[in-house]
């Protein structure tokens, strides 16, 4: 994507695990190592191409990031990691 100069916006929704699986049958296999996804994009980027990454933790930060990718960073490949905390099923 960087090599081809794409200007996509990628949202990664990260809730830190499989909530439904935990509710059905919890076990150590449901403990998932949380990666630093934005660092992965930066590593692939390696100073070449045009990309921008960020992590957001709440609605205000998401709105700010959305304004950034549709404004000053609109000519970049943009990657936004949206962190959601694990939720208990109702």
50-87 pLDDT tens trace: 899 999 999 999 999 999 999 999 999 999 999 987 66
Q: How far is CA 47 from CA 11, 43, 51, 52, 57, in A?
A: 21, 8, 9, 11, 26
How many other CB atoms are there within 10 angstroms of residue 87's CB atom?
Answer: 9
pTM of the predicted structure, to 2 decimals:
0.80
Assess whether pLDDT exceeds 90 at residue 1: no
User: Which domains are seen in the chain, by residue range?
Assistant: 9-83 (3.40.50.970)
pLDDT of residue 64: 98
């Amino acid at each position: 994507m960087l090599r081809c100069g794409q200007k996509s916006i990628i949202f990664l929704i990260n809730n830190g695990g499989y909530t439904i699986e935990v509710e059905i049958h919890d076990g150590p296999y449901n403990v998932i190592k949380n990666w630093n996804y934005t660092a992965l994009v930066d590593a692939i980027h390696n100073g070449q191409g045009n990309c921008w990454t960020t992590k957001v933790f709440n609605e205000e930060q998401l709105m700010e990031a959305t304004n950034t990718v549709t404004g000053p960073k609109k000519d970049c490949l943009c990657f936004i990691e949206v962190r959601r905390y694990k939720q208990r099923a109702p």
